[in-house]
Amino acid sequence: MINFRTQPDSYRHWQLTVNGSVAHLTLSVDEQGGLFDGYELKMNSYDLGVDIELYDAVQRLRFEYPQVGAVVISSSNNRIFCSGANIRMLAGSSHAHKVNFCKFTNETRNSIEDASENSGQRYICAINGTAAGGGYELALATDYIMLIDDGSSTVSLPEVPLLAVLPGTGGLTRLVDKRKVRRDRSDIFCTTEEGIGGQKAVDWRLVDEVIPGSQFTRQVKQRAEEFSQQANRSPDAKGICLTPLERSIEADTIRYPDLNVTLNREKSLATLTLKGPESECLGENHPHRNSLFEDIQTQGDKFWPLALARQLDDALLHLRSNEPELGTLIFRTEGEVQAVFGYDQLLRESTDYWLVREIMLYWKRTLKRIDMTSRSSFALVDQGSCFSGFLAELLFSVDRSYMLEGQYEDDPRPSAKIRLSPTNFGPLPMPNGLSRLETRFLGEPDSLELVANLIAEDLDAEAAQQAGLITEALDDIDWDDEIRMVIEERASFSPDALTGMEANLRFAGPETMETKIFGRLSAWQNWIFQRPNAVGEKGALRLYGSGGRPEYNKERV
């Protein structure tokens, strides 16, 4: 089982150190620390285990070290910064693992860029050796790239000439969209095995600065101090500790304090039930605003919105990597609508407080994880549910939503209601840069304006359907049979066709660098990872390092 839970004292590949407003993430890969048997992580190459630690470190920097304004990523190896994804690992992995590995590393690099853009933690990559493939792609995710000028260190994306695959974690897109490297130069760069270094790397905008070896450490320190002084961070902010997640895994159930996941392997189904808070949030009724923030700080990672976000994030990653045959996800909620709405209001109105802002950003990233999940997704709004505010975003993240009309005679819980808030109209955008409601009502500005007028109202099934907020309303007589037929029908379709269909339908509207990386790049890489030119017996990825020459089918398709 792949476990995405870790903490700094368990890291095998990264060292996290913090000195005032500057943090250092130093890569020193344990060659024997691979996630699976059959390969060694030589030359600071990485596998999913290395990136799980990196993701954890990026999260901790945001929550545990709010005073940090600059993060320096470097290597303890003076000749090799990072040689990218481990080739033996890729060659020996299943197709599904390769694709999920690339997706997770993409998401991790996006979280670095999100920290730079929204959290005031700017990243510097200090390349003190060769940076190849995924190593250079990691650098591309940072704000500023510094390359040592020692006559041998270069940056490269050699996947096409060496492995017959693409750079898998956004390199092609960031090269032209983010760093604005010319198309012809990008073409040369991506087909040059040995890479480019020195002043030419600066002239082509592949890096921002090259520094002689004798000055490198001093110059990196100076840049980090400059970045930290420019950052919008509070030097007096006190971080919270992200403690190990509570989780128990049984045969057909995964339990967290605020989330239960039930698995039905016969129907290829996982049902995620998110629990609302046990008590209402004081919010605006709190006698003192500052003491309210102190209360949140004291609760730390047990503060309900943050605790639930962490649990949902972990559950999604666990299902993605460890339960690949559960092709349909159903989202349910249990709790009081008013209680969730109170927490939503507190979060929305308190983003000037660093911890609340980080919690909202965490929800944004976790909801994007749902957007990017290659599973069919449904939401069921039934009695006792609490789809309100940021939890209502789940309704607009899924492929379809069904809502129960009225109540069962023997069920005393409240009838199903949906309550929108301003959170549903912008603060939690999709990868396309639009809110989920903007995307839902693309080309229908009148419909978007209509639902904006329904903020804070309790909408029953009929009202929600009239407003276009759900797929269908069902009464108690039809509910069980209709839901059963929807699930069975979905399970009868080809998973491959569904993955392609869903990914094409989810991201209407403008294309962004993020949608290009996850849509265009991931689709092509998914295809290439199955082609014999790359993974066949005489494919480049399979033969890499053997001395044999790959044999290519020359047809362009």
Residue 406 backbone zone (phi > 0: left; psi -120 to 50: alpha; other: beta): left
pLDDT tens for residues 145-204? 999 999 999 999 999 999 999 998 899 999 999 999 999 999 999 999 999 999 999 999
8 Å CB contact between 364 and 372: no
Q: Inform me whether the pLDDT recorded for 362 exceeds 80.
A: yes
Residue 208 has what pLDDT? Answer: 98
Q: Inform me whether the pLDDT recorded for 286 exceeds 60.
A: no
What mean pLDDT comes out for the span 306-325? 97
Q: What is the residue-averaged pLDDT of the chain?
A: 95
Phi and psi at 465, nearest 5°, equal: -70, -40
DSSP state of 412: -
DSSP state of 11: -
Query: How many angstroms separate the CA atoms of 97 and 432, rounded?
Result: 26
Residue 283 backbone zone (phi > 0: left; psi -120 to 50: alpha; other: beta): left
Query: How many angstroms separate the CA atoms of 146 and 281, rounded?
Result: 46
Q: Inform me whether the pLDDT recorded for 284 exceeds 60.
A: no
Q: Inform me whether the pLDDT recorded for 328 exceeds 80.
A: yes
Q: What's the pTM?
A: 0.96
pLDDT tens for residues 427-448? 999 999 999 999 999 999 999 9
What mean pLDDT comes out for the span 396-410? 95
Name residue 88's amino acid. R
Residue 522 has what pLDDT? Answer: 78
Q: Inform me whether the pLDDT recorded for 285 exceeds 90.
A: no
8 Å CB contact between 99 and 522: yes
> Interior CA angle at 528 toward 524 and 534, to 5°?
155
Residue 292 has what pLDDT? Answer: 82
- Terminal CA-to-CA distance of the chain, rounded, Å? 37
Question: What is the share, in percent, of the chain residues with pLDDT greater than 70?
Answer: 98
Distances (CA, A) of 78 to 75, 153, 199, 446: 7, 10, 20, 60
pLDDT tens for residues 492-516? 999 999 998 998 899 899 999 999 9
Name residue 413's amino acid. R
Residue 125 has what pLDDT? Answer: 98
Element (H, E) at 200: helix 198-203
DSSP state of 327: -
8 Å CB contact between 304 and 296: no
Residue 235 has what pLDDT? Answer: 76
282 band by pLDDT with thresholds 50, 70 and 90: low
Domain spans, the chain: 8-230, 248-493
Q: Inform me whether the pLDDT recorded for 390 exceeds 70.
A: yes
Q: Got the DSSP string for 128-148?
A: -SEEETHHHHHHHTSSEEEEE
* Torsion over CA: 329, 334, 338, 341 (sign): negative
pLDDT tens for residues 514-552? 999 888 777 888 889 999 999 999 999 999 989 999 999
What mean pLDDT comes out for the span 55-72? 97
Q: Which two tokens mark 450?
A: 């209509």
CB atoms within 10 A of CB 318: 20
Q: Which two tokens mark 79?
A: 């000749």
User: Which of 256, 251, 399, 242 minimizes the C-alpha distance to 315?
Assistant: 256
Helix axes 304-322, 95-118, angle to 10 degrees: 150
Query: How many angstroms separate the CA atoms of 488 and 506, rounded?
Result: 22
Q: Inform me whether the pLDDT recorded for 223 exceeds 70.
A: yes
Phi and psi at 117, nearest 5°, equal: -75, -40
3-state DSSP of 36-75? CCCCCCHHHEECHHHHHHHHHHHHHHHHHCCCCCEEEEEE
Element (H, E) at 225: helix 213-230
3-state DSSP of 505-533? HHCCCCCCHHHHHHHHHHHHHHHHCCCHH
289 band by pLDDT with thresholds 50, 70 and 90: low
Burial environment of residue 353 by CB neighbours within 10 A (0 to 12, 13 to 18, 19 or more): buried
Query: How many angstroms separate the CA atoms of 299 and 215, rounded?
Result: 45
What mean pLDDT comes out for the span 455-480? 97
Query: How many angstroms separate the CA atoms of 162 and 83, rounded?
Result: 13
Q: Which CATH superfamily is domain 248-493 in?
A: 2-enoyl-CoA Hydratase; Chain A, domain 1 (3.90.226.10)
Query: How many angstroms separate the CA atoms of 303 and 313, rounded?
Result: 16
8 Å CB contact between 188 and 203: no
Query: How many angstroms separate the CA atoms of 116 and 545, rounded?
Result: 37
Q: Which CATH superfamily is domain 8-230 in?
A: 2-enoyl-CoA Hydratase; Chain A, domain 1 (3.90.226.10)
8 Å CB contact between 335 and 280: no
Same fold, 8-230 and 248-493: yes
User: Which of 52, 50, 63, 51 minimizes the C-alpha distance to 23?
Assistant: 63
Query: How many angstroms separate the CA atoms of 534 and 529, rounded?
Result: 7
User: Which of 330, 274, 365 minimizes the C-alpha distance to 63?
Assistant: 365
Residue 520 has what pLDDT? Answer: 79
